[in-house]
Amino acid sequence: MTASQVINPATEQVIATVEPTGAAAVDAAIERAHRAAAGWREVAPGDRARLLRRFADAVDADLERLAALEVANSGHTLGNARWEAGNVRDLLHFAAGMPERLLGHQIPVAGGVDITFHEPLGVVGVIVPWNFPMPIAGWGFAPALAAGNTVVLKPAELTPLTALRLAELALEAGLPADVLQVLPGSGAVIGARFVTHPAVRKVVFTGSTEVGKQVMAGCAAQVKRVTLELGGKSANIVFADSDLERAAATAPYGVFDNAGQDCCARSRILVQRSVFDRFLELMEPAVRGLRVGDPAAEETEMGPLISAAHRAKVAGYIEPATKVAFTGACPEGPGFWYPPTVVLPDGPQDRLVREEIFGPVVAVLPFEDEAEAIAMANDTEYGLSGSIWTGDVGRALRVSRAVESGNLSVNSHSSVRYWTPFGGFKQSGLGRELGPDAALAFTETKNVFLAS
Ligand code: NDP
């Protein structure tokens, strides 16, 4: 098996080589995880919590190194990469509060006592994409470990370095061997084996809707538990009664963050027709002013795309007939650069409006009234995220309730907090991650009746 090269997308330089995990080694790792699960589930909740806190402290002590590694491997801006490492640290602290709070019920019955238990599943397989290697790894492993499971984790082939470092930190923090194993290499070999191996009791997959459907179909063969976080084509709905200056000035951050390689990207901006032209006028300087360049520089706001192939895919959406309203600047190269691009699509059926581009391209469309805004927002197979900009509280509530999406923010572009639930409607996914019930999703509920 040949080692695969890890490329810095901002320089196109090889920064590391990684040995991919072969099929036999994947099976061996799953079997080790299965054996380790028997011991890990018996670790007293308080001790499991203490180990997770030590792991969080190790991430904190290593935060600058993890961030620098992500900047080099993924082209994330330094500010974002620091936030991402901090997100794993904070989530581990949050997860450390879970083992002692996996409370069952005592249910009134005649002739005895009825009790429920939340038992760990065993081995959990986590499949991570390249767009947010650290947080998405953490969202899988932190609550799974808290609930008493062991984890085998496959990072994306393009971005394995921070996940490998997190596994080292877990060991340094004192987590027992084989409780968290990171297996770099191919999705077709490793991810697919998580789906078929009977000792893996749950698969957590984040990535494309297409591969997510294959994972779900594979899991169905064993009625294996599965959580899917898939694509998005989220709407940023701007009403005429909103604070238009703020909505327009912040819209670029709602879609161009991480160069648009974000399942929560608000890649459709729907603007009430009466303020459509004004909104674009206000948004233009914010887009042109975005600082795109060296992701390691403190002031940079947007880095490169992940690979040459991905840039070609993104560029393929902009055809000669596409109406480009305006673009921002980006470096010439080397590096897989693509400028922030605002397009005026050819109506709601245009593929710029329908498909997840996963790059810094946003389509802006007009709507007439609230009913049309809701209909347009819902006219998609996806339902992950979105924003609603309005000064009317009643409208904020009506529209939030009517939009078919798992995560909405009003007068804001934020999507993710580790203590609130995250997941998609429709083809954006299945199940929820994060939030107060995150650990429960990694347990089976057992009901026991004791006769008196
Ligand atoms: P994929 O869905 O192919 O990859 C996501 C993860 O799944 C990777 O770790 C990948 O491994 C793994 N994988 C691939 N094939 C299988 C399989 N048969 N069984 C199990 N796991 C598998 O996404 P891509 O990286 O190819 O990106 C393609 C498009 O998907 C993007 O352009 C974007 O539109 C969308 N996407 C959406 C994401 C989201 O967060 N919603 C995240 C990433 C992509 P490997 O690294 O070997 O490919």
- What is the DSSP code string of 80-127? HHHHHHHHHHHHHHHHHTSGGG----EE--TTEEEEEEEEE-SEEEEE
Are 296 and 71 spatial neighbours (Cβ–Cβ below 8 Å)?
Answer: yes
CATH number at residue 259: 3.40.309.10
272 C-alpha vs ligand 1 centroid, how far in Å?
35
| Residues sharing a CB contact under 8 Å with residue 188, sequence separation 6 or more, in sequence order | none
Nearest residue to 271 (alpha-carbon basis) of 169, 141, 193, 363? 363
Residue nearest to atom 20 of ligand 1 (CA): 191
**351, 377: one domain:** yes
Strands (E), 328-428: 341-344, 361-367, 386-389, 409-410
Residue 28 lies in a domain: yes
Distance (Å, whole) CA 32 – CA 29: 5
Give the mutation target among 126, 186, 211, 258 for probing the ligand 1 site: most ligand atoms within 8 A of CB. 211
Q: How far is 219 from 203, CA to CA, in rounded Å? A: 8
Structure-token pair, residue 213: 């459907």
- 212 and 256 part of one domain: no
Q: What is the pLDDT of residues 188-236, one digit of tens each?
A: 999 999 999 999 999 999 999 999 999 999 999 999 999 999 999 999 9
Assess whether 75 and 176 both reside in one domain.
Answer: yes
Work out how many domains the chain is built from and give that number: 2
**How many C-alpha atoms does 117 have within 13 Å on its Cβ side?**
8
Same domain, 302 and 200: no
CATH number, domain containing residue 138: 3.40.605.10
Those residues with Cβ within 8 angstroms of residue 217's Cβ, 6 or more apart along the chain or in another chain: none
Q: Which atom of ligand 1 is nearest to the CA of 186?
A: 47
Give residue 151's pLDDT: 99
The mean per-residue pLDDT over the stretch 63-84 comes to 98
Average pLDDT of the segment spanning 6-16: 98
Ligand 1 pocket: which of 7, 26, 127, 257 to mutate (most atoms within 8 A of CB): 127
Q: How far apart are CA 280 and CA 242, in angstroms?
A: 14
pLDDT at 333: 85
In this predicted model, what pLDDT tens digit does every residue of 242-287 receive, in sequence order?
999 999 999 999 999 999 999 999 999 999 999 999 999 999 999 9
Answer whether residue 417 is part of any domain: no
Asked whether the beta carbons of 36 and 177 are under 8 A apart, the reply is yes
CA distances from 133 to 138, 142, 378 (A): 9, 14, 29
Number of neighbouring beta carbons within 10 Å of residue 401:
9
- Do 246 and 387 lie in a common domain? yes
Q: Are residues 310 and 196 in the same domain?
A: no
Tokens (6 digits) for 291: 């600082």
**Band (399; pLDDT cuts 50, 70, 90):** very high
CB < 8 Å & 24+ apart, contacts of 100-103? 100/45, 100/46, 100/49, 102/45, 102/147, 102/439, 102/440, 102/443
82: its two tokens: 């620091």
Query: Could you report the per-residue pLDDT of 85-110, keeping only the tens digit for each?
Result: 999 999 999 999 999 999 999 999 99
Examine residue 416 and state whether it is found in any structural domain, yes or no.
no
Neighbour-count burial of 447, counting CB atoms closer than 10 A to its CB (0-12 exposed, 13-18 middle, 19+ buried): exposed
Q: Is 259 left (phi over 0), alpha (psi -120 to 50) or beta?
A: left
Q: What is the pLDDT of residue 1?
A: 63
Residue 351 lies in domain: 235-410
Q: For residues 226 and 239, state if they share a domain.
A: no
CB-based burial of residue 154 (10 Å sphere; 0-12 exposed, 13-18 middle, 19+ buried)?
A: buried
Tokens of 324: 């480009």
- Rounded CA separation 89/111 (Å): 47
Do 279 and 139 have their domain in common? Answer: no
Mean of pLDDT values over 61-76: 98
46 C-alpha to center of ligand 1: Å? 36
Q: Is residue 89 part of a domain?
A: yes
Task: Look at residue 57 and tell me if it is in a domain.
Answer: yes
Distance from residue 208's CA to the centre of ligand 1 (Å): 5
Pocket of ligand 1 (CB under 6 A): 127-131, 154, 156-157, 186-188, 191-192, 206-208, 211, 214-215, 230-231, 263, 356, 358
Cα–Cα distance, 142 to 95 (Å, whole number): 6
Cβ-contact 177, 35 below 8 angstroms? no
What percentage of the chain reaches a pLDDT higher than 90? 99
Beta bridge partners of 444: 119
The answer to whether residue 70 scores a pLDDT higher than 70 is yes
- For residue range 327-378, list pLDDT tens digits in order: 999 999 899 999 999 999 999 999 999 999 999 999 999 999 999 999 999 9
Q: Is residue 13 part of a domain?
A: yes
- CA dihedral for 352, 358, 362, 364, sign (positive or negative): positive
For 424-433, the pLDDT digits (tens) are 999 999 999 9
Q: What is the mean pLDDT of residues 9-30?
A: 98
Alpha carbon distance 389, 94 (integer Å): 31
Q: Which residues contact 94 (CB under 8 A, 6 or more apart)?
A: 142, 418, 419
| Average model confidence (pLDDT) across the chain | 97
pLDDT above 90 (res 415): no
In this predicted structure, the answer to whether residue 408 has a pLDDT above a threshold of 70 is: yes
pLDDT by residue (tens digit) across 305-315?
999 999 999 99
CB 113 within 8 A of CB 106: yes
User: Model pTM greater than 0.75?
Assistant: yes
Both 248 and 208 in one domain: the answer is: no
Question: 270-285 in b/e burial notation, b at 16+ Cβ within 10 A?
Answer: bbbeebbeebbebbbe
49 plus 15 within the same structural domain: yes
Q: How far is the CA of 228 from the centre of ligand 1 (A)?
A: 12
Residue at 418 is within a domain: no
- Cα(375)–Cα(75) distance, integer angstroms: 36
| Whether residues 368 and 304 fall in one domain | yes
The position carrying tokens 């300087």 is 285
Name the pLDDT band for 3 (thresholds 50, 70, 90). Answer: confident
pLDDT at 219: 98
Residue 261 within any structural domain of the chain: yes
Encoded tokens for 400 = 């939030």
pLDDT for 386: 98
Read off the pLDDT band of 2 (50, 70, 90). Answer: confident
Residue 229 annotated to the active site = yes
- Catalytic residue, candidates 42, 100, 119, 229: 229
Q: How far, in Å, from the CA of 211 to the mean position of ligand 1?
A: 6
Residues 37 and 177 in one domain: yes
Amino acid identity at 274: S
Report the nearest-CA residue for atom 32 of ligand 1. 358
